[in-house]
Amino acid sequence: MSVRPITIIGHRALEQRTRKVREITEDIRELVADMFETNDAADGAGLAAPQVGSRWRLFVYSCPDASDTLRRGVVINPRLERFGGLELDEETIEGCLSVPGEGFPTARHRGARVHGIDLDGEPVVVEDEGGVLARALQHEVDHLEGSLYIERLSPAHRREALDAVSARGWRSKGLLTWDPRLTSAEDV
């Protein structure tokens, strides 16, 4: 297992739809193990394959659900169902390891459920309503569709987010990834 570099906004991998996993190979198992280690090193709630430069349709998560119970797992080939109303709470800040050090209020459905398979090829269903996990499920599936949370922001917050990205100068510095072993998200 190893910590992999995390892609930053502007990296091509974040803009592409992912490919369905047809077979759980040793390479897929290694990718998942590395993603857990990378997510832990970055103190993330979840990590989608494109965030480590992979085009496979899978993500890992490690965050609390609505009952504040830590939930941890992997979902391969997830299908997302959203339920409950769309909520925007100015106090609830959503961030992203691919937009490190920034966070903004993001409208998300109150509940989410994903259906997929685990590393043994067995069906898995992960569900939450009102917790961090519900947001994380929606956020990670967005990554698999080639979309960042910034695209879900209100126009004013989107402008603020894009200004913050520009101010960090990642593009002018040629930064397309960051290494959570070497720096925190806030310092990228």
Tell me the CATH architecture of domain 6-178: Alpha-Beta Complex (3.90)
pLDDT of residue 135: 97
Between β-strands 108-117 and 70-87, what pairing exists: parallel, antiparallel or unpaired? Answer: antiparallel
Total Cβ atoms within 10 A of residue 182: 11
Q: Percentage of the chain with pLDDT > 70?
A: 100
Strand order in the sheet with 108-117: 46-48, 58-64, 70-87, 108-117, 123-129
Q: Is the pLDDT of residue 113 over 90?
A: yes
Q: Is the pLDDT of residue 142 over 90?
A: yes
- What are the pLDDT digits (tens) for 168-187? 988 878 889 999 998 888 88
Q: Is residue 25 very low, low, confident or very high in pLDDT (cuts 50, 70, 90)?
A: very high
List the chain domain ranges. 6-178
Range list of β-strands (E), 40-174: 46-48, 58-64, 70-87, 93-95, 103-105, 108-117, 123-129
User: Six-digit token pair at 97?
Assistant: 């390891």
Q: Percentage of the chain with pLDDT > 90?
A: 88
Residue 111 C-beta-side C-alpha neighbours within 13 Å: 9
pLDDT of residue 155: 95
Is 96 annotated as a binding-site member? yes
pLDDT of residue 188: 87
Is 109 annotated as a binding-site member? no
Is 11 annotated as a binding-site member? no
Instruction: Tell me, yes or no, if 122 is annotated catalytic.
Output: no
pTM for this model (two decimals): 0.95
Q: Which is the catalytic residue, given 37, 140, 145, 160?
A: 140
